[in-house]
A and B are shown apart, each in its own frame.
Chain A
Amino acid sequence: MADFLMPILGADMTEGTVVAWRKQPGERVERGEIIVEVETDKATVEVESFVAGTVETILVDEGRKVPVGTPLAVIGVEGEQPVAARPVPAVPRSSVAMPAPAPAAAKAPGARVRASPAAKQLSQELGVELSTVVGTGPEGRITREDVEQAAKVTARPVEEAPDRQTRMRRAIAAAMSRSAREIPHFHLAREIDMGVATQWLAEENEKKPVAGRLLYVVLLIKATALALREVPELNGRWNEGRVVENPAVNIGVAISLRGGGLVAPALLDADHRTLEDLMAGFRDLAQRARASSLRGAEITEPTITVTNLGEAGADSVFGLIYPPQVALVGFGRIVEKARAREGEITARPAITASLSADHRVVDGHRGSLFLAAIDRLLQEPSRL
């Protein structure tokens, strides 16, 4: 038997609303199959099951908002005996933010609690009972961030339900405030000649059907993904006072939403995909992001973020890192610049690539090598 919990779909998420169940009790669900739609402050997300089995019980009805970590359903795993029905946890049946109940996934009183020393100390300072906190660290270990989130949820006053735009701004504010507060950022920039890349792209697109054309941002994404192989620490996450390198390169692409706000869902395994596949994936992501139908893994698994603000007219971007990621790569607009080449000055299309990096993880030397790698890769676009 496995509890299917309200997932954390982003560093800023404290609660979510069950929008629609895709599986009903008695139905089989495969690992990776969509089981429920959850609304966060930023999007409606299709959430996958992480186990295969049969849905035994649905614990939270559609339309109910619950804290992250709350069991939403019970899934009977193959080879296990079905369990007796258990009561549905008491959850406020309201879309209005209420003082949150203790997460039902929390430990029973007296049960062993796995928590980091920092989390234990903070829980004492903030008066948070660790047995009520859902751990998101390795093997369910409670982290300092988990305690902070629990304190925020517990302390939240009753208020009117804000509109979607307000909730999104709040979510972005929470994540970016945490980023600015906790991450010692440094920024680097490098001007990259885009003459070869844009010429190659124009020639390639001439040969392709309309629906198969590539946008130049896909070259930037692929170059970033490949450059991460050379400086893999930038593809890590900061966890419990140390960096953990991610085995996969999942590029979170910043997509602005109509009416304001943004999301940065992941193009999974970007370093292994062809430009055509990345383009199809990016187009699909953009359409689904704007239609509010992203999937859980796309929200939770970016290992680095790429943002391209060139089309909006920015010359360069110095962004804030989305925790627990440790880097963000920004691109400005492509403009013609006078460049000296072999003793002659010529006008060349150029773009400014920038890196926002976590100084706890990497230093300027490695960051500079990373930008240089992106530059080098973009000079051979046919090999991307």
Chain B
Amino acid sequence: MPRAVLHGSLPLLLLAVVCAPVIARASGEAALPEHLRDTGLYADGSMSQLQPDVLSFSPQYPLWSDGATKRRWIKLPAGTSIDASRPDAWDFPRGTKLWKEFSHGGPVETRFIERAMDGSWRYASYVWSADGQDAVLAPAAGVRGLPVPSAPDGRYSIPAQDDCRACHEGAPVPVLGFSALQLSPERDGQAPHADGAHAGTDLRTLAARGLLVHLPKDLLASPPRIAAANPTERAALGYLHANCGHCHNDDGPLAVLEMSLAQRVGAKESAGSVLRSLVAVSGQFRMSGNTTRVAPGEPDASVLALRMRSRDPLQQMPPLGTSAVDLEAMALISRWIESLSLQPK
């Protein structure tokens, strides 16, 4: 484990220890562990060696988090499996745990999601110590502006528990990066920030190990892939799915906006449906005199691109979890919008 780069964090850690909240939602559920080492990720006495039943994975379309390097893991209770009968809303067994580690030169934060025995989900974040030997439960209100030299502007923010819910509970299932599209064996080579390797965890390996059951057979025979007009559009729609689709979908609370950026592997017309809600469609938000979500050929007149390019907190998209513009993604989105004027109508 690389040495942590979190400096000046002793007061925070003391605060976290003293104020560490009990944020279990489910009644009767045990309080969340005060230390990451007690969540079941690492072998006893270690902060780097994983438990043998912990699986590493990597989504083909990662979420942008200001350039943080990430590692992800999942652990299912022994003898259980994920029910993929609903291919876009997997049913995870009670007791499922997931972790995501955020690093800027060394681990800064590890986020933790657990499905409680009553079926609800609970969320926590653990803040790493400077020496990389411990990670402590963060306050439920989060922490703004931790000094982390390698982060953008030297600052790093831990999300509040409400922020966790805001993103994770806008989707059909709160697990966002472990899904049929994200674990397709047929990876998108143009996806921004993709790891390249995917730790050997994909739909086929999961199904072969009996960890994923009832996935429709056609999704194993013909792996999920966004049905786009060209590779640029495929990568752009994949990026929007991973970074925006958990809120902007047609079956969550933001369905009222009538704009869906979520791809559905169970719906053949999914990509077309996304495009119909975006391209040449006027939205309620007005920015620089523009209201068209995606204006073909005109990234600078497309509210989607303008808001992704902004870090004014009143306008920026996503509104949470990022303070730096994803320049690689913006180049992709601009190329895609420019290409739309060339596509046949």
Q: Tell me if chain B binds chain A.
A: no
A-side interface residues toward B, CB under 8 Å?
Answer: none
